[in-house]
């Protein structure tokens, strides 16, 4: 089998195809009833100044993520913020353009080329970043539902209960892992790896390693504060994007839209969360009482804010750093990371 065929198979596997099918399903659900004329009229009424402001806020959010990532990297090596920010932008470009969340590998490779830090060490901090966002989601989502339980739909409340349960499970894992670390490691390597659930070993090891790194970071307070600020700025971005299409979200609707769209991007999809993001946003906007045509415009604008701003800037850094997908995908050291990033 030729190397070109192997590279294609690395991207065109069942996960990629599943994502494409799910995305087409999302596009169908969100736009099966579509009035092009009404849509274009509403789109033309978009306030471009506010749309530009929303894109600026999106870039600021990525900058804040770069600052947080730099705190996680600091115990390994002090890296200039401009390299961390550039690599973060490359990540968003990769996630919007390539399948399998390939942006995570691209940013690891980009920072490796700028800093000389090993790929494995950098990717470890990426895992910690993922873990941080998951933990904050699992904390903030149930707390918000407790406040708005009387007005939000039943399925959202049940989602909050599930999130709270997962958060409790993570807390129990942290406690158990701290007391019985050696036992956990032996169970994973000696028992679970030999069972039919052996494929779970590596993701679990990465998860536990992320917890270990997070507990040991000397800048934990700064990282937690930065994560909270990032989430506040992200919510602000949704609000400003709504203003761009002349929609003033109430605080409860703003939070509901934010949490739903944040959760929906975890669903397998084509590059850029196309289809899944739109279907999720349109569905929750319809629940809020928006007309279908207006909900479609809002969903498109919300997605376009990130897509245009981050893809264009990220592409600039991708070219500036002279990155080549062919080299990244063919690097032997990256093959396992590519596999893990898609899990």
Mean confidence (pLDDT) of the chain: 83
259, 12 contact by CB (below 8 A): no
- Whether 175 shows a pLDDT value over 50: the answer reads yes
- Whether 332 shows a pLDDT value over 50: the answer reads no
Q: Nearest CA to 50 among 312, 327, 304, 325?
A: 304
200 domain-assigned: yes
More confident: 191 or 49: 49
6 domain-assigned: no
290 domain-assigned: yes
8 domain-assigned: no
> What was the pLDDT predicted at 168?
79
Choose the most confident range, by mean pLDDT, from 37-41, 78-82, 128-132, 152-156.
Answer: 78-82
- Whether 267 shows a pLDDT value over 90: the answer reads no
127 domain-assigned: yes
> Percent helix, strand, coil in the chain (nearest 5)?
80, 0, 20
> What was the pLDDT predicted at 10?
54
34, 296 contact by CB (below 8 A): yes
- Whether 16 shows a pLDDT value over 80: the answer reads no
Helix axes 119-148, 251-264, angle to 10 degrees: 140
> What was the pLDDT predicted at 3?
44
44 domain-assigned: yes
Give CA–CA dist 145/140, Å, rounded.
9
% of the chain beyond a pLDDT of 70: 81
The domain total for the chain is: 1
The residue segments making up the domain with residue 220 are 13-341
**Within 13 A of 298's CA, how many CA atoms are on the CB side?**
30
With left for phi above 0 and alpha for psi between -120 and 50, is residue 2 left, alpha or beta? beta
7 domain-assigned: no
1 domain-assigned: no
**Model confidence pLDDT, tens digit, residues 191-228:** 667 676 666 667 666 766 666 666 667 788 899 999 99
Tell me the C-alpha to C-alpha distance, in Å, between residue 167 and each of 125, 164, 266: 21, 5, 17
**Model confidence pLDDT, tens digit, residues 120-146:** 888 888 888 888 888 888 888 888 888
């Amino acid at each position: 089998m030729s190397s070109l065929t192997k590279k294609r198979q690395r991207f065109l596997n069942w996960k990629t195809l599943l994502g494409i099918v799910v995305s087409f399903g999302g596009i169908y659900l969100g736009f099966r009833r579509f009035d092009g004329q009404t849509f274009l009229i509403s789109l033309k009424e978009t306030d471009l100044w506010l749309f530009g402001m929303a894109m600026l806020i999106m870039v600021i959010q990525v900058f804040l993520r770069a600052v947080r990532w730099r705190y996680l990297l600091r115990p390994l090596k002090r890296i200039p913020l401009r390299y961390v920010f550039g690599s973060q932008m490359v990540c968003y470009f990769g996630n919007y353009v390539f399948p399998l969340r390939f942006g995570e590998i691209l940013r690891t490779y980009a920072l490796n080329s700028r800093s000389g830090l090993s790929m494995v060490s950098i990717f470890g901090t990426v895992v910690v970043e993922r873990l941080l966002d998951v933990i904050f989601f699992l904390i903030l989502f149930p707390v918000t539902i407790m406040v708005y339980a009387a007005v939000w739909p039943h399925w959202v409340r049940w989602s909050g209960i599930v999130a709270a349960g997962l958060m409790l499970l993570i807390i129990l894992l942290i406690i158990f892992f701290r007391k019985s670390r050696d036992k956990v490691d032996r169970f994973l390597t000696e028992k679970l790896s030999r069972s039919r659930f052996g494929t779970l070993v590596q993701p679990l090891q990465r998860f536990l390693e992320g917890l270990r790194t997070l507990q040991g970071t000397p800048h934990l307070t700064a990282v937690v504060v930065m994560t909270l600020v990032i989430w506040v700025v992200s919510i602000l971005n949704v609000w400003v994007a709504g203003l761009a299409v002349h929609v003033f979200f109430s605080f409860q609707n703003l939070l509901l839209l934010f949490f739903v769209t944040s959760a929906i991007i975890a669903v397998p999809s084509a590059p850029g969360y196309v289809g899944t993001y739109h279907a999720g946003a349109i569905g929750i906007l319809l629940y809020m009482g928006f007309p279908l045509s207006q909900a479609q415009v809002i969903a498109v604008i919300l997605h376009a804010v990130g897509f245009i701003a981050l893809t264009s800037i990220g592409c600039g850094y991708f070219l500036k750093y002279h990155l080549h997908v062919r080299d990244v995908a063919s690097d032997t050291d990256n093959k396992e990371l590519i596999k893990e990033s898609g899990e």
